[in-house]
């Protein structure tokens, strides 16, 4: 596994386990998070406001694949979210862009989330 693949595995795990501190430490000040079909979050403060309520919230998930190339990465998988008795399964595909190849910060995320089953 490459260094970037390890980095994005940690980021994906952080999103799925509510490890918001890891996410905050690895995004740029001018991040753009495009949630396809919804509003985009622009800037680190907007991402922090969106993510803070998820602190410590663990989501059941399966990562199918992580593909990296240069400053880009794609993570594909499934996750289950909801409240007891009303769980829903989703397929996701997240596309990430770093500001630089080595030790970069995330400057862009495009997230696709589709309910399945």
Range of the domain at 69: 3-116
Q: Does the predicted model carry a pTM greater than 0.85?
A: yes
> Which of these, 17, 2, 57, 34, lies nearest to 106 by C-alpha position?
34
pLDDT in tens, 30-51: 999 999 999 999 999 999 999 9
Task: Give the pLDDT band (50/70/90) at residue 85.
Answer: confident
* pLDDT at 111 exceeding the cut of 80: yes
Please tell me the total count of domains within the chain. Answer: 1
* pLDDT at 107 exceeding the cut of 80: yes
Is-contact 35 113, C-beta < 8 A? yes
> Which of these, 111, 103, 7, 91, lies nearest to 51 by C-alpha position?
111
Section 82-95 average pLDDT: 88
Rounded Cα–Cα distance for residues 37 and 26 (Å): 25
62: domain CATH number?
3.10.450.50
Q: How many CB atoms lie within 10 A of CB 58?
A: 10
């Amino acid at each position: 596994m490459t260094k970037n693949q390890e980095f994005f595995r940690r980021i994906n795990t952080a999103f799925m386990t509510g490890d918001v501190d890891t996410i905050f430490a690895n995004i740029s000040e001018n991040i753009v998070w495009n949630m396809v079909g919804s509003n985009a979050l622009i800037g680190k403060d907007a991402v922090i406001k969106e993510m803070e309520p998820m602190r410590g919230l663990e989501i059941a998930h399966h990562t199918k694949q992580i593909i990296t190339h240069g400053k880009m990465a794609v993570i594909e998988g499934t996750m289950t979210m909801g409240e007891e008795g009303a769980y829903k399964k989703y397929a996701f595909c997240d596309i990430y862009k770093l500001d630089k190849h080595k030790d970069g910060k995330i400057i862009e995320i495009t997230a696709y989330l589709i309910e399945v089953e």
